[in-house]
């Protein structure tokens, strides 16, 4: 009988969640204040990290850019952390150097573990904070010639989801989590990106979307927002249709293939 009640409760929860989402879609989300919050941003010297720092500065946050060993002594407990640092080496797998693979995982995912392990205890003690994982649409779908990058971003998305679930299980609902997943961003790390269906984003647009997601405690921040719907639809497409969609998309960028740089 308990399992029947649990299933009924689950159905009620699902219906309520859909209705709640529908209402929130039409109503403006309440934005929290980040004035006075101590914000740590990794990779803040360039691209998304740099403009995200500007957005927090405009909202009178206190910024830490960035030395993990001196943080607590100099500024106190960090309340918002944005794990933004990233590495990417566009190449086919056999042309990718071993040290490039190692660097990709060290920066794109392992660094998240070490930073959060250092900062999470104070957040848990206060049941307060916000942890932001900067991932990518490549954490939900794959692109040829970016195998280490895609793999590390899948890991980053998994890190965000698993950490979110663990904090909820621990009852630490005052610690919010967000994951940023943009399409190609014109940061200069990937040369000459182009696609037919996705825009190539400017860093200021992504930074504004990230800040908006943080202020409204949004769990998954897709940029542009319709990418989330596109990824859901792709899960229901057969393999042949996905291959056809990939050809239509025609994603191109400079990559090392067969030890020679070419557009792919």
Determine the Cα–Cα distance for residues 94 and 260; give it in Å rounded to an integer: 12
Annotated catalytic, 128? no
Buried b (16+ CB within 10 A) or exposed e, 72-107: eeeeeebbbbbbbbbbbbbbbeebbeeebbeebbeb
Which spans in the chain are helix H?
Answer: 2-26, 47-58, 71-75, 98-105, 111-126, 147-169, 203-215, 226-234, 239-249
- List 54, 89, 145, 149, catalytic entry: 149
User: Sign (positive/negative) of CA torsion 170, 173, 227, 55?
Assistant: negative
Query: What positions carry a catalytic annotation?
Result: 149
């Amino acid at each position: 009988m308990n399992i029947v009640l649990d299933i009924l409760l689950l159905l009620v929860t699902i219906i309520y969640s859909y209705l709640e989402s529908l209402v929130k879609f039409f109503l403006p989300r309440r934005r929290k204040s980040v004035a006075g919050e101590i914000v740590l941003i990794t990779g803040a010297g360039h691209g998304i990290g740099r403009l995200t720092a500007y957005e927090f500065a405009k909202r009178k946050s206190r910024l830490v850019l960035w030395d993990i060993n001196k943080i607590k002594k100099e500024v106190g407990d960090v309340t918002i952390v944005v794990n933004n640092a990233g590495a990417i080496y566009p190449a086919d797998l056999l042309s990718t150097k071993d040290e490039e693979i190692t660097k990709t995982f060290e920066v794109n995912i392992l660094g998240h573990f070490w930073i959060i392990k250092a900062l999470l205890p104070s957040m848990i003690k206060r049941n307060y904070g916000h942890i932001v994982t900067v991932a990518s649409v490549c954490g939900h779908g794959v692109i040829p010639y970016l195998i280490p990058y895609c793999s590390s971003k899948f890991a980053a998305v998994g890190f965000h989801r698993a950490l979110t679930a663990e904090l909820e299980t621990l009852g630490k609902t005052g610690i919010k989590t967000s994951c940023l997943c943009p399409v190609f961003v014109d940061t200069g790390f990937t040369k000459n990106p182009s696609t037919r269906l996705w825009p190539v984003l400017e860093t200021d647009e992504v930074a504004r979307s990230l800040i908006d997601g943080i202020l409204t405690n949004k769990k998954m921040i897709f940029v542009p927002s319709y990418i989330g719907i596109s990824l859901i639809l792709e899960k229901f497409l057969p393999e042949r249709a996905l291959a056809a969609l990939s050809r239509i998309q025609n994603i191109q960028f400079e990559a090392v293939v067969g030890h020679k740089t070419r557009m792919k």
